[in-house]
Amino acid sequence: MDFTYTDTQDMLRDTLGRFLTENFDFERRRKVVASDSGRDPGIWKALATELGILGAPFAEAHGGLGGGAVDNLVVMEKLGEAIAIEPYLQTVVIGGGALKAAGGALADALIPEIIAGDAIIAFAYAEPQGRYDLANLRTTAKQGGGGWVLNGHKAVVYAAPWATHLLVTARTGGGQREADGVSLFLIEAGLPGIVRRDYPTVDGFRASDVHFENAAVPADALIGGEGAALPIVEQVVDEATAAVCAEACGVTRMLHRSTLDYARQRKQFGRAIADFQVLQHRLVDMFMEVEQAVSMTLMATLKLDLPAAERAAAVSQAKAKVGKACRFVGQNAIQIHGGIGMTDELAVGHYFKRATMIEGQFGSVDHHLGRFEALTIAA
Amino acid sequence: MDLNFTADDLAFQGEARAFIAAHYPPALRARQERGEELGKEDYLSWHRVLAKQGWVAPGWPVEYGGPGWTATQRYIWSEELARADTVPILPFGINMVAPVIYTFGTAEQKARFLPRILSGDDWWCQGYSEPGAGSDLASLRTRAVRDGDHYVVNGQKTWTTLAQHADWGFFLVRTDTTGKPQEGISFLLIDMNTPGITVRPIITLGGEHEVNEVWLEDVRVPVDQRVHEENKGWTCAKFLLAHERTGIAGVARSKRGVERIKAIARTETDGDRPLIADPFFRRKLAELEVDLTALEFTELRTLAGEAAGKGPGPESSLLKIKGTEIQQRITELALEAVGHYGAPYFRGFGEGDNAQAIGPDYARRAAPTYFNMRKTSIYGGSNEIQRNIIAKMVLGL
């Protein structure tokens, strides 16, 4: 039994934390989020070159640091503490995860580009009718012109406006919700026939609805076997879910910390509101939610290498618990702040909004409880 | 005991329903259905229709322009408004300052202010909270000093809802700094165009400009705009808070909210079935409805007590707590129901923009509304304060 981080992981955490404090404080975030592009490309470039952290979970053979899921956890937690909007989840965890799982020439070519900060990948998986079912796909890929032709509509693709590449799920066979027939493509984002509608999201990111209109993609864009990619997609989404759990740990920890500070300093009825027992107990309940979120995130992250069913059960347990923590800690952070917590001016509301979006990301509490039940409780 | 409406009540219900169907502004309906943000004119357009009919102030005594309805009729009316999803009649004039004026005001004040509140000619805002006086309202520090037949007012108010549109505001100000804090407060009516008043927007979580800071710098207010005696403002404030809380249960609006979620959940898919067939989702809807029924019948009991001559007492804190919790749960379920399309944020995107094509209409306001409704357990006396009131006033602790 060992829950200690390696020296490299400690250094990763400290370096990233310091960098974000110095370069992406709340006022800076506010300006960047409101800008035309909604991001500061210099931050991403600095993560790649100055800090060298984009290679954290990649093999040394690809130019990475040789780490894995725990390194992703460390990075995501720190990004959460700063409510950073860098597309690390989409590019490194998901895009990189899919490339690592599939291997081959495409991985050899693209992973070094990710590490260098030159490639940004967005994950186009969700569809308007699909909710959280990864196999529920209407987007199709048909063979033609020596490659594939894509048609369909992907919903709310985070980071798509910034992306150089899209990781796309599409059907090459099978019925709308069948496991067989799901294929995965990694394509250049600017290909003809890809139409994006871009918009900001409530939690400060940019996203797009992406339409494929007879978009021709090359044959070698296929990742994993034709029609047999669902296991890779499920694995990558489980890894991504564990990563947003880690982000949530950072977000909820900051929500708790800032609420504690505020309660100590805010005076009503002649004393600090932190003196009232009803608020002390609430702050304790929030603390316990954060601690359990951390425990569940570690548990799930350390089980990502287990066989699919065990991995899925662990991740769904974690996400169910973390989703509840996001809601409880977020709502009570606003409540204890009172009116001032409702304002756009204070950081706490922006942490609350990110926490709220994490609740639903890759599946709601209900979804993950249902998945856990189905996997583990025999009727 | 009888749970049924009388024949007269049923006839009234039919009349109310028919009136709303015939007279609700169609342009306003269309804007609501597109999920557009509503402005001053939207609220006023419906206000004027009801004012013309004599139905805009159901709670007022007949002599000042109320319709003379029974408590049951008022209840039916609010149900019908919610059922038709009308825009709310803003409470600051009709439900808040007016009862204070007709209860504590002079004949001149009644004649001067009540008709213009009724007609919608004057838009009112509430100057209560201050940066240092929220839950502990009595600690307010905005100062009013007598200078001949005027008060000179200096201070800062905050969370002043829709003050950017207001013609008039009712303010709690300190006129005496000796003695207990509650005993040195007066209730002033202030023309928002008086020199020295600055209104600054506060933008809230959903991106709305709903509340403001109001700064008062050497604002001269005629003494005849004070309601009730000097240093008796706390009496007005307590009276008003009790009035504010009776409507706050929001049962009828919440029923409408539940129906709206059901409609969304019938449209949204979850695998091979609509979301409404999902056992988790159904169970949460069912629990919500059970709690809403409990709230409804608790409110009806309060209403019956009122009809029998008992004023709304500290029990109304129960209605506020449970009412706002239910309102918040409705927004939680709505956000869960819309799935991925809760994330896009469309503020600043105009009509004809690509916002029109992203996701279903009903998803557009789900997240901002969820964020915005967090205010309900904070305003009007936070739910923690309401529990203190019940503990002290009802349980005698």
- CATH number, position A266: 1.20.140.10
Measured between CB atoms, does B356 come within 8 Å of chain A?
A: no
Instruction: Based on the fold, state whether residues B165 and B261 are members of the same structural domain.
Output: no
Instruction: Based on the fold, state whether residues A235 and A348 are members of the same structural domain.
Output: yes
Among A228, A259, A284, where does a domain finish? A228
Write the CATH number for B299. 1.20.140.10
Count of the separate structural domains present in chain B: 3
Q: A359 lies in which domain range?
A: 231-376
User: E strands, A135-286, where?
Assistant: 140-144, 147-158, 165-171, 182-188, 194-200, 206-217, 222-223, 267-268, 271-272
Measured between CB atoms, does B204 come within 8 Å of chain A?
A: yes
Predicted structure pTM score: 0.95
CA distance B241 to B385: 13
Count of the separate structural domains present in chain A: 3
Instruction: Based on the fold, state whether residues A162 and A85 are members of the same structural domain.
Output: no
- Tokens for B279? 């056992």
Instruction: Based on the fold, state whether residues B36 and B133 are members of the same structural domain.
Output: no
Identify the DSSP state of A341.
G
Write the CATH number for A144. 2.40.110.10
Instruction: Based on the fold, state whether residues A223 and A345 are members of the same structural domain.
Output: no
Minimal C-alpha gap between A359 and chain B (Å): 9
Instruction: Based on the fold, state whether residues A77 and A61 are members of the same structural domain.
Output: yes
- Measured in degrees and rounded to the nearest 5, phi and psi for residue B149 equal -95, 25
Instruction: Based on the fold, state whether residues B212 and B262 are members of the same structural domain.
Output: no
Instruction: Based on the fold, state whether residues A214 and A235 are members of the same structural domain.
Output: no
Instruction: Based on the fold, state whether residues A347 and A292 are members of the same structural domain.
Output: yes
**pLDDT value at residue B241:** 77
Instruction: Based on the fold, state whether residues A224 and A238 are members of the same structural domain.
Output: no
For A192-214, write each residue's pLDDT tens digit: 999 999 999 999 999 999 999 99
Whether B114 is in a domain gets the answer: no
Q: Mean pLDDT in chain A?
A: 97
**Burial level of A307, CB count in 10 A (0-12/13-18/19+)?**
exposed
Whether A38 is in a domain gets the answer: yes
Among A206, A228, A250, where does a domain finish? A228
Pairing of strands A140-144, A182-188: unpaired
Instruction: Based on the fold, state whether residues A73 and A169 are members of the same structural domain.
Output: no
Instruction: Based on the fold, state whether residues B215 and B142 are members of the same structural domain.
Output: yes
Instruction: Based on the fold, state whether residues B278 and B382 are members of the same structural domain.
Output: yes
DSSP H helices in B196-347: 233-247, 251-267, 279-307, 316-338
Minimal C-alpha gap between B183 and chain A (Å): 16
Instruction: Based on the fold, state whether residues B225 and B260 are members of the same structural domain.
Output: no
Instruction: Based on the fold, state whether residues B284 and B258 are members of the same structural domain.
Output: yes
Instruction: Based on the fold, state whether residues B382 and B269 are members of the same structural domain.
Output: yes
Per-residue pLDDT 10s for chain B (397 aa) are 677 888 999 999 999 999 999 999 999 998 888 777 788 999 999 999 999 999 999 999 999 999 999 888 988 998 899 889 999 998 899 999 999 999 999 999 999 999 999 999 999 999 999 999 998 999 999 999 999 999 999 999 999 999 999 999 999 999 999 999 999 999 999 999 999 999 999 999 988 899 999 999 999 999 999 999 999 999 999 888 777 655 678 898 899 999 999 999 999 999 889 999 999 999 999 999 999 999 999 988 887 777 676 666 777 899 999 999 999 999 999 999 999 999 999 875 444 444 456 899 899 889 999 999 999 999 988 999 999 999 999 999 9
Instruction: Based on the fold, state whether residues A235 and A313 are members of the same structural domain.
Output: yes
Instruction: Based on the fold, state whether residues B133 and B54 are members of the same structural domain.
Output: no
Chain A residues with beta carbon closer than 8 angstroms to that of B333: none
Instruction: Based on the fold, state whether residues A156 and A102 are members of the same structural domain.
Output: no
Among B181, B205, B232, where does a domain finish? B232
Q: B211 lies in which domain range?
A: 124-232
For residues A210-232, one letter each, b for 16 or more C-beta atoms within 10 angstroms of the residue's C-beta and e for the rest, the string is bbbeebebeeebbbbeebbbbeb
Instruction: Based on the fold, state whether residues B365 and B299 are members of the same structural domain.
Output: yes
Contact A367, A320 (CB under 8 A): no
- Is the pLDDT at A144 greater than 60? The verdict is yes
Chain B residues with beta carbon closer than 8 angstroms to that of A201: 343-345
- Of all residues in chain A, the one with the smallest CA distance to B159 is A339
**pLDDT value at residue A78:** 98
Among B43, B67, B89, where does a domain finish? B89
Whether B105 is in a domain gets the answer: no
Q: Is B355 left (phi over 0), alpha (psi -120 to 50) or beta?
A: alpha
Instruction: Based on the fold, state whether residues A15 and A112 are members of the same structural domain.
Output: yes
Whether B100 is in a domain gets the answer: no
Residues of B serving a catalytic function are 244
Whether B345 is in a domain gets the answer: yes
Instruction: Based on the fold, state whether residues A332 and A239 are members of the same structural domain.
Output: yes
Identify the DSSP state of A276.
S
Among B232, B259, B292, where does a domain finish? B232
**pLDDT value at residue B147:** 97
Instruction: Based on the fold, state whether residues B182 and B302 are members of the same structural domain.
Output: no
Whether A1 is in a domain gets the answer: no
Write the CATH number for B180. 2.40.110.10
What is the ipTM for the molecules in this complex?
Answer: 0.96
Whether B212 is in a domain gets the answer: yes
Pairing of strands B226-227, A271-272: unpaired
**Burial level of A15, CB count in 10 A (0-12/13-18/19+)?**
middle
Are B343 and A133 an interchain contact pair (Cβ–Cβ within 8 Å)?
no
- Measured in degrees and rounded to the nearest 5, phi and psi for residue B322 equal -70, -35
Whether A31 is in a domain gets the answer: yes
Minimal C-alpha gap between B139 and chain A (Å): 8
Chain B residues with beta carbon closer than 8 angstroms to that of A209: 357-359
**Residue B362 CA: distances (Å) to CA of A346, B160, B263:** 29, 29, 10
For A240-260, write each residue's pLDDT tens digit: 999 999 999 999 999 999 999
**pLDDT value at residue A1:** 83
For residue A338, give the nearest of B204, B268, B378 by CB distance: B378
Instruction: Based on the fold, state whether residues B253 and B225 are members of the same structural domain.
Output: no
Q: Is B381 left (phi over 0), alpha (psi -120 to 50) or beta?
A: left
Whether B111 is in a domain gets the answer: no
Chain A residues with beta carbon closer than 8 angstroms to that of B135: 268-269, 338
Tokens 């918040």 locate to B328
Whether B37 is in a domain gets the answer: yes
Are A131 and B272 an interchain contact pair (Cβ–Cβ within 8 Å)?
no
Whether A104 is in a domain gets the answer: yes
Tokens 């709304």 locate to B312
**pLDDT value at residue B72:** 84
Evaluated on CA atoms B369, B370, B373, B375, the torsion sign reads negative
Among A119, A134, A149, where does a domain finish? A119
Are A131 and B358 an interchain contact pair (Cβ–Cβ within 8 Å)?
no
User: E strands, chain B, where?
Assistant: 124-127, 143-147, 150-157, 168-174, 185-191, 197-203, 209-222, 226-227, 269-270, 273-274
CA distance B332 to B327: 9
DSSP letter string, B324-348: HHHHHHHHHHHHHHHGGGGSB--TT
Whether B241 is in a domain gets the answer: no
CA distance A165 to A121: 5
Are A370 and B280 an interchain contact pair (Cβ–Cβ within 8 Å)?
yes
